[in-house]
Amino acid sequence: MTERRLYLDAAAGETRGVVTLDGRPERLLIVRDGDLAAQALGARVIARIRALDRANALAFLDLGAGPDAVLNLTKEVGPLAEGQAVEVEIRSEPRRDKGASVRLIGAAEGPPRLLVAAPSLAERLQGYAATEIRTGGVARSMADTAQDEALQSIFPLPGGGTLAVEPTRALTALDVDLGSKPGAEAKRATRAANLAALGVAARVLRLKGLGGLIVIDLVGRGHDAPALLSAARAAFAADNPGVALGAVSRFGTLELTVPRRIRPALDILTDGAGALSVLSEALALARALEREAMADGGGRFEATAAPEVAAAAGPALSQLTARLGARLAVRGEPGRPRGVVSVARI
């Protein structure tokens, strides 16, 4: 029996929602100040058809803010014309290299604009489990744990072995590694590792917000395909509707597709090179300042960071001082490397 719990951490500059599965982070939802409401999952928007690519059965839509969205041209969609206004719903948020995907609701009038805002983060969380949403310090701790794990690429398997996750432009590759086992135990350990890897893979892919084509490189040979496919269906059931499983190939891989819905965590948290973005560092700095200020109600504190991180922390600092008083400061230190932040009482 599985147990899911919900956590909501409202911090300066961002709100993070976490779903846990049997105590481990399963989903990480991040909403930041300045996010475009017209690009959020579930938002309803009046859009304008900017271009039609009939060869690939695609329409590109101007949502009024942010990158163009994509609508698949199917028989159900019917005839459309460039420049036409339509009402759509965001079904998949934009990624670093792709625009949002949308569902057509019908014809509309007027310029591109937000019509109905997306569900709140609390509402989205409640859709994953009918249980209370925890807030406060326990939610902050769980959100930090979920964020740290979402940034990892190698995950331990119960009973031994590891699962490596490597997203690419075309697909997400997962590799199951068992390490060395004595000959008498190898077959049993291989089967156990592959079955365990499917459960870990499903949880980790949800946590990272990854979907699309997934290829799992199983360990060993002579796989029990029916058992693996049954385990995969159970592990990825929470991602339905839309999960499609392929056969276990003669090369020892299992392919499946998982619907994309939210922005991947790496797109939000990191820069193009995979390091934490300046904004992510600035928001972590703000949380560190808030932690010290809450622990010492009368103390004055200053955070020191790289100049670009200090500058990016300005809006979050303004929110903190409005709530906690003018006893917090951020200083940019020339020459200080990124990722090195100190908070001191002054």
SS (H, E, C) 13-81: CEEEEEEEECCEEEEEEEEECCCCHHHCCCCEEEEEEEEEECCCCEEEEECCCCCCEEEECCCCCCCCC
Q: Do both 8 and 66 map to the same domain?
A: no
Residue 175's domain spans which residues? 152-265
CA pair distance 172, 232, nearest whole angstrom: 16
CA distance 227 to 236: 14
> Which residue, 265, 280, 309, sits at the end of a domain?
265
Neighbours of 146 (CB within 10 A): 26
Low-confidence stretches of the chain (pLDDT beneath 70): 1, 180-184
Identify whether the C-beta of residue 113 lies closer than 8 Å to the C-beta of residue 86.
Answer: no
* pLDDT for the residue 179: 77
Q: Which amino acid is at 2?
A: T
| One domain, residues 214 and 184 | yes
Select from 229, 249, 265 the last residue of a domain: 265
pLDDT of residue 132: 97
CB atoms within 10 A of CB 345: 9
State which of 219, 249, 265 marks the end of a domain: 265
Angle at 133 between CA 287 and CA 264, to 5 degrees: 60
Confidence at residue 273, expressed as pLDDT on a 0 to 100 scale = 82
Instruction: Give the position of tokens 């929110």.
Output: 319
Beta-bridge partners for 253: 217
pLDDT for res 182: 53
Provide the residue type at 66 as one letter.
G
DSSP conformation class of 98: B
Residues 170 and 260 in one domain: yes
Judgement on whether residues 112 and 126 belong to the same structural domain of the protein: no
Q: By three-state DSSP, how is residue 263 classified?
A: coil
Residues 85 and 129 in one domain: no
pLDDT of residue 183: 59
Give me the number of domains the chain comprises: 4
Q: In this structure, what CATH number is given to the domain that contains residue 328? A: 3.40.1260.20
Same-domain status, 159 and 102: no
Output the pTM of the full model: 0.93
Closest CA to 177 of 185, 167, 165: 165
Distances, alpha carbon 241 to alpha carbons 89, 154, 188, 315, 335, in Å: 17, 28, 33, 39, 50
Do 88 and 163 have their domain in common?
A: no
pLDDT of the residue at 184 = 54
Distances (CA, A) of 260 to 29, 83, 210: 14, 28, 7
Q: Tokens 């909403």, residue?
A: 31
Which residues are within 8 A (CB) of 293 and not within 5 positions of it... i.e. 6 or more apart? 299, 301, 320, 324, 327, 328
Are 248 and 334 part of one and the same domain? no
Q: Are residues 199 and 297 in the same domain?
A: no
Residue type, 327: R
Q: Are residues 141 and 22 in the same domain?
A: yes
Largest CA distance in the chain: 71
The torsion angle over the Cα atoms of residues 119, 10, 29 and 169, rounded to 10 degrees, is 120
Same domain, 31 and 130: yes
Whether residues 166 and 236 fall in one domain: yes
d(CA 212, CA 199): 18
